[in-house]
Structure 1
Amino acid sequence: MKTLLLITLLLCPWFVGAQSVTVRGVVRAQAARTVLPGVRIVEKGTANGTATDARGRFTLVTTRPTPRLLVSFIGYVTKEVAITHPKDSVVVLLPEDETVLSEVVVVGYAGAAHKSSISGSAAAVSGSPSGVLIRGARSTPPASRPAPKAKTSVPPTGTRVGAGVLTAGEINDFSKWTLWPDIAQQDLNHWRQRWHLSPLERYAVQLVSEAGFPVVGATVRLLDRRDSVLWQAQSDNTGKCELWNGLFTDRQPSNVASLQAVVEGKTYSLRRPTVFAQGVNVLRVRQPCQAPSIVDIAFVVDATSSMGDEIQYLQAELGDVITQAKDSLASSTLRLASVFYRDAGDEYVTRKTNFSADLPATLDFIRHQQAGGGGDFPEAVDQALTVALNELSWSPHAKARLLFLLLDAPPHENPPVLASLQRSIRQAAAQGIRIIPVTASGIDKSTEYLMRSMALATNGTYVFLTDDSGVGEAHLKPTTDQFTVERLNTLLVKLMAKYAYTVDCQAPPATRPHQAETLSGHYQQVADTTMGTTHSTKREKRYTWTCYPNPVSEVLHVQLEADIPELFITDVTGKILLRAVPAHYKATIELGSFPTGVYFLRFFAGTRWEQARFLVSR
């Protein structure tokens, strides 16, 4: 028998070591057939993964002979690919995400001449959910609270509701930064004074390693002339952080003297940092590329009676979000926690479950909560934040820490509560915890301003439910130029993916492109075809744009065929990093200070936003 086994092994050398194979391939957009850089490829059921290079190519050594790969990227549907013939090159076609709505709502904000501010979503938007009426654009009447509306769909007690029902929009004020100061100092100025919050004097910082990779999780401080700390934050998944001066005080002459970053015990300083209007402050530090795997996500939920019209739907949406997040963040260690809160004098003020990688346990906790108590408009928001920040075990080594705050009412307005809110905002920023408010029906303009300010102060974004689902009372439209309506579950998963995206430090040199490419596309502008005549006729004319090289290390060249007033460079979170003004239909954009990663070139072409995804490679 032993002899027979030996002969079998000698005749079948492939038997030994057949548990791992090398898979090579390319990922393209299904519709345009263009290559997609920065796409995550993960072997299903493992943390083993890689990312595509600038030409959409990847190489992955798997742990199984016939693996299944999860292929995912922001704005595209995650695809599962079965590898049956590993020796063949794989071509993966990713379809654009069509689970979001196609409604772009023009709110009618007329407080500034910045109508072309970048919208909050960087992903393509199309399709519509079953049973949702897509309305046309409308203007919002000036009001502090939404008018009562008899349009409520509350499921009977015990009824199980499904996910994909609630609709929402997002305002990333970092992506609309030229619009925000006008909104904060004009339309919402009264609420700025009420909450003693003024996120206006902004200092953006980018940490880059000597090898050109973003530095994640470093402590960064803004200092005054006496070296006292004005603000402290942590660099995020893209190596950036946001620092603020005078956030809780009336604006006074700036006393900012320097900023300081602490990386692995070593201090790096920059004297006389510039405000964001003058550029991003870049610090180069000595640190090898690191890719943390932990993603901490906490859901802090208002469970008072006023949430009764939407809480069951929110619970269903969160359950679906958790399931989707597990798949889209397959290469990460996902930990969840939750805090439910009511108000003083209710059955309870806060209930919590701590961070755990046991996702079903957290989901079970969320499903067993019910709305009750409350009664007055304000609730114990401040106490919920205190519990979430101090009693949940946030990982100091996470690449993303997200606190989703779901509510329909503001905190109380008194000095102790305001002081508590200020402490929580400062603490969240210092710990690198992004606060992402999700506001439901019933909020007013005061609450909107507070939530958007908290999001800015902690490097987060603002999410709000809309009327499109037909669920709940009337939802207040935000003060902005326009926003895109999406399904809530899709939007939340997309945000998680954006904020958890990190550059792959282990990309093998063989996958790096040897030849750069030129990106191109078309845009339309309204042209006057009969200038100088009695009657003027206007029509849309098609133009071509190009940008090169891709990947880029120092300078990105952009060529246009028609006048475009501004070009923007944004990161994967939608945050504006750089603005350029073309001269004679051309622009030369210096990117030498940008770390390795995926970026977007964006510009407004009369009726719509155009964008190109490109890779910065060192």
Structure 2
Amino acid sequence: MVFALLAVVHCRGGSGEISGTVLDEKKMPVIGAVISVSSAGIVRAQTATDYDGIFVVSPLPAGSDYELKVTYKGYVTQIVKNIIVRDGSATKVHIHLAPDLHEFKEVVITTYKAPLIEIGHPHNIMDAGIRHTGITNTADLVSVASPGVHVRHGESEAFGGRVSTTTFIIDGVEDHATAAPAEKHGGRLTSGEVNDFSKWKLWKDLSKGELSMYSNIWSMLPRHRYTVLLKSKDNTPLCNARVLLRDKATDCVLWAAVTDNTGKAELWDRIFTDSNKDHRIYAELRYRGERYKIRNLRPFSKRINVLNLPFPCDAPKGLDVAFIVDATGSMQDEINYLKEELYDVINKVKDSLHEHEVRLGAVFYRDHGDDYLTKVSALDNNIKTTVDFIKDNNAGGGGDGPEAVDDALDVALNRLEWNKDALARIAFLILDAPPHDQAEVVTRVHDLVYEYAKRGIRLVPVVCSGSDKSNEYLMRSLALATNGTFIFLTDHSGIGGHHTEASTDKYDVSFVNELIFRTICQFAYSTPCDQVMMQIADTLKMSNEPARDSLVKLAKDTVKKDTSKYVHMKFYPNPTDRILYTEYENVKGNIYVSDISGKLILKTEADKGGKMEIDMFDFPSGIYFIKYEDEKGVWLSGKFILLR
């Protein structure tokens, strides 16, 4: 569905813009949708939607007919034609994307089969080997002829062009126009995420049960958690405040952290020891030369510790993102695909996060005794520098399992020159093997993790094929300790070796480029100081009842459906300045509220009367989600805005 209207804005003389929103079938923003604007068959500009699904293409010469194309993996491509751009005006185009059920089923739900053709390897594929693909014509034949591939089918044959060419040979005749090799743009590797902050009780159960043996190997147990939330006098989050967890008896610093884009800092007691001794603790806060104390500090299981400081709203624009990549031989099966995914992420960041001052960097590492130990590309606002560095590095060496992860973490921490005033500092640790487990290495990892947390650099491990449960436990612990999240590749893509599924109750499968980009957006979102946010419907609803077309089908099949047990919930007003009113049916147990990064921040038991008020007084302005898990374990979620 497409809606277009004109609104006057201030644009440069002789030009205008095309802007608007992209929403999915649930009217939720689509993040990272690719927007292409063309005229006369030539692409004039490209961008991507931001966290709110908003895009702006500007400036565009006035007086031309434009075509706008919206693409997003798993959804039907939308094309809007005959768009007029007028001088000094903005043409608004609002897109509703519909799921591509065929692609969704093949890519996300069912288990992938290995690709017919592996890119970069010479192949000869005969008729019997590809008959199951349904190829019946020359165009389809060419579509499977990747660079370096010879395909024979019946009386026809095709040779894919070399990587550097666009030439195809069909039945002995060169063809430059019929087809060209597909562009490398990511969206091939599949992945899942476990944000243990959003499943805190489950993590505590796992760390004491299924994964408990690994806490002894790595001498690391993130369990004793304290959360501090800082708000400005304008009720907006305060980021980059330093928060120290101190022992009252000795005044020693037990942990140090920095408040994130939501104003929260995660503090840990006894994370590197199995001691059962409770510390008498308090929190010390340092912000703009002033110091404050929270003496009656309560653990997360009791509450979030909230403090208002007498400072105005501050929304930093800096964004530092680094990729720390295992480049040993065991990564050979996936590293080229991963590089494609990273190129796509980098382009999305460049095109979508215009309001941020983005710097990107990378560290590639191997192991002791290899050709090199680490290679570094410093954080830089020249995006091309990082892209070229990633292109120039490949996998090799290694081979003994554990690698020099500690050296890579050290180099990334101390040589990338992180911006201490940035809104977000994120390091994606992409690997398939843990560090060595000698005592001195484990101690060094502890020291490095503490420094990452102290400097507010969030570690986000991305675990690849060949990893084991021990490495999973360590990586999830690193993510918790540094306020990050945990990403793992899955077998759904059919690429690479076997991927170990994470220990969790359930997870969604996403393309890894989209998941990494979404993580960056979540960690880099900030509440505008002027609090100008996109207005959404005053009253929103959520339900687990099947869609109307499903009910119609059931009726046609003469299957009786009892709808009395479906969950129905509505919540209002939206935005709210404090109280969120809820009305519901068939809701039992707890209703939760999470922040934009997925952390659960509030839990309240549903009142039996079918109505309840959720008081958001303690929390700063921003985007939040109300969540409920039904009896079948399906989570329902609705977005609302708090404007204080």
Q: Where on the TM-score scale, by shorter chain, does this alignment land: which range?
A: 0.7 to 0.9
Structure 1 position 413 matched with structure 2 position 437 = yes
C-alpha separation in 1, matches of 2:78 and 2:310:
37
C-alpha separation in 2, matches of 1:45 and 1:128:
27
Change (3 A) 1:21 1:164: closer
Change (3 A) 1:344 1:26: closer
CA deviation string 1:280-336 (max 9, x = no partner): 110111221112111111100111111111111111111111111111212211111
Change (3 A) 1:36 1:363: closer
Structure 1 position 93 matched with structure 2 position 94 = yes
C-alpha separation in 2, matches of 1:17 and 1:489:
33
Change (3 A) 1:561 1:384: same
Give the conservation status (yes or no) of the 8 Å contact 2:25–2:99. no
CA deviation string 1:154-201 (max 9, x = no partner): 743997683211111111011111100010011111101110111000
C-alpha separation in 2, matches of 1:308 and 1:50:
33
C-alpha separation in 2, matches of 1:154 and 1:539:
51
Give the conservation status (yes or no) of the 8 Å contact 1:153–1:472. no
Q: 1:586 aligns with which of 602, 611, 614?
A: 611
Name the aligned partner's letter for residue 624 of structure 2: Y
C-alpha separation in 2, matches of 1:596 and 1:77:
35
Deviation at 1:538, TM superposition (A): 8.3
Q: 2:479 aligns with which of 452, 455, 467?
A: 455
Change (3 A) 1:425 1:578: same
Q: 1:206 aligns with which of 206, 229, 234?
A: 229
Length, aligned pairs only = 545
Give the conservation status (yes or no) of the 8 Å contact 1:152–1:471. no
Name the aligned partner's letter for residue 582 of structure 2: V
Q: 2:540 aligns with which of 514, 519, 522?
A: 519
Deviation at 1:66, TM superposition (A): 6.3
Q: Percent identity?
A: 37
Partner of 1:297: 321
Partner of 1:141: none
C-alpha separation in 2, matches of 1:558 and 1:269:
36
C-alpha separation in 2, matches of 1:78 and 1:449:
39
CA deviation string 1:583-611 (max 9, x = no partner): 11232222101101010001112342211
Give the conservation status (yes or no) of the 8 Å contact 1:50–1:507. no
Q: 2:110 aligns with which of 127, 131, 135?
A: 135
Name the aligned partner's letter for residue 589 of structure 1: I
Change (3 A) 1:46 1:477: closer
Partner of 2:643: 617
Q: 2:571 aligns with which of 538, 547, 550?
A: 547
CA deviation string 1:344-395 (max 9, x = no partner): 1111111111011111111111111111111211100000000000111101
Partner of 2:247: 224
C-alpha separation in 1, matches of 2:336 and 2:622:
39
Give the conservation status (yes or no) of the 8 Å contact 1:20–1:63. no
Give the conservation status (yes or no) of the 8 Å contact 2:24–2:98. no
Give the conservation status (yes or no) of the 8 Å contact 1:50–1:506. no
Change (3 A) 1:470 1:17: closer
Give the conservation status (yes or no) of the 8 Å contact 1:523–1:545. no
C-alpha separation in 1, matches of 2:46 and 2:406:
39
C-alpha separation in 2, matches of 1:251 and 1:355:
39
Structure 1 position 484 matched with structure 2 position 508 = yes
Q: 1:427 aligns with which of 441, 444, 451?
A: 451
Change (3 A) 1:570 1:152: farther
Give the conservation status (yes or no) of the 8 Å contact 2:16–2:86. no
C-alpha separation in 2, matches of 1:502 and 1:597:
8
Which range is displaced more, 456-465 or 152-161?
152-161
Name the aligned partner's letter for residue 613 of structure 1: K
Deviation at 1:439, TM superposition (A): 0.6
Partner of 2:155: none
C-alpha separation in 1, matches of 2:355 and 2:335:
31
C-alpha separation in 1, matches of 2:484 and 2:189:
21
Change (3 A) 1:554 1:438: same
Deviation at 1:51, TM superposition (A): 9.9
Q: 2:335 aligns with which of 305, 311, 316?
A: 311
C-alpha separation in 2, matches of 1:262 and 1:395:
18
TM-score for the superposition, normalised by structure 1: 0.78
Structure 1 position 84 matched with structure 2 position 49 = no
Deviation at 1:581, TM superposition (A): 0.7
C-alpha separation in 1, matches of 2:29 and 2:370:
55
Partner of 1:156: 121
1:236 is paired with a residue whose SS is coil
Change (3 A) 1:316 1:322: same
Give the conservation status (yes or no) of the 8 Å contact 1:26–1:35. no
Deviation at 1:21, TM superposition (A): 10
Which range is displaced more, 255-264 or 489-498?
255-264
Change (3 A) 1:185 1:150: farther
Change (3 A) 1:284 1:21: farther
Structure 1 position 603 matched with structure 2 position 628 = yes
CA deviation string 1:401-437 (max 9, x = no partner): 1100011111001121011101110000011111000
Partner of 2:260: 236
C-alpha separation in 1, matches of 2:14 and 2:242:
40
C-alpha separation in 1, matches of 2:300 and 2:423:
24
C-alpha separation in 1, matches of 2:234 and 2:16:
27
Name the aligned partner's letter for residue 110 of structure 2: R
Deviation at 1:85, TM superposition (A): 5.1
C-alpha separation in 2, matches of 1:290 and 1:29:
29
Which range is displaced more, 317-326 or 128-137?
128-137
Q: 2:415 aligns with which of 391, 394, 419?
A: 391
The answer for unaligned runs of 5 or more in structure 2 is 1-7, 36-43, 123-146, 149-162, 164-182, 547-559
C-alpha separation in 1, matches of 2:578 and 2:11:
43
Give the conservation status (yes or no) of the 8 Å contact 1:568–1:578. yes
C-alpha separation in 1, matches of 2:503 and 2:479:
15
2:539 is paired with a residue whose SS is strand
2:213 is paired with a residue whose SS is helix
Partner of 2:238: 215
Change (3 A) 1:390 1:551: same
C-alpha separation in 1, matches of 2:495 and 2:375:
26
Name the aligned partner's letter for residue 568 of structure 1: Y
C-alpha separation in 2, matches of 1:448 and 1:151:
31
Deviation at 1:260, TM superposition (A): 1.6
Deviation at 1:523, TM superposition (A): 2.9
C-alpha separation in 2, matches of 1:368 and 1:24:
37
The answer for unaligned runs of 5 or more in structure 1 is 1-13, 100-125, 138-148, 526-536
Name the aligned partner's letter for residue 616 of structure 2: L
Give the conservation status (yes or no) of the 8 Å contact 1:154–1:310. no
C-alpha separation in 2, matches of 1:31 and 1:183:
35
Give the conservation status (yes or no) of the 8 Å contact 1:466–1:477. yes
Give the conservation status (yes or no) of the 8 Å contact 2:14–2:88. no
Coordinate RMSD, CA, aligned: 4.2
Change (3 A) 1:17 1:281: closer
Partner of 1:111: none
Deviation at 1:543, TM superposition (A): 4.5
Structure 1 position 320 matched with structure 2 position 344 = yes
Name the aligned partner's letter for residue 258 of structure 2: Q
Deviation at 1:553, TM superposition (A): 2.0
Matches within 5 A, 1:430-449: 430-449=454-473
Change (3 A) 1:265 1:373: same
Partner of 2:527: 503
Give the conservation status (yes or no) of the 8 Å contact 1:516–1:550. yes
Give the conservation status (yes or no) of the 8 Å contact 1:210–1:286. yes
Flag the structure with more relative contact order, 1 or 2, with Cα contacts below 8 A and sequence separation at least 6: 1
Give the conservation status (yes or no) of the 8 Å contact 2:16–2:89. no
Change (3 A) 1:489 1:46: closer
Give the conservation status (yes or no) of the 8 Å contact 1:223–1:230. yes
Give the conservation status (yes or no) of the 8 Å contact 1:150–1:473. no
Give the conservation status (yes or no) of the 8 Å contact 1:258–1:269. yes
Structure 1 position 247 matched with structure 2 position 236 = no
Structure 1 position 258 matched with structure 2 position 259 = no
Name the aligned partner's letter for residue 392 of structure 1: L
1:276 is paired with a residue whose SS is coil
C-alpha separation in 2, matches of 1:441 and 1:50:
31
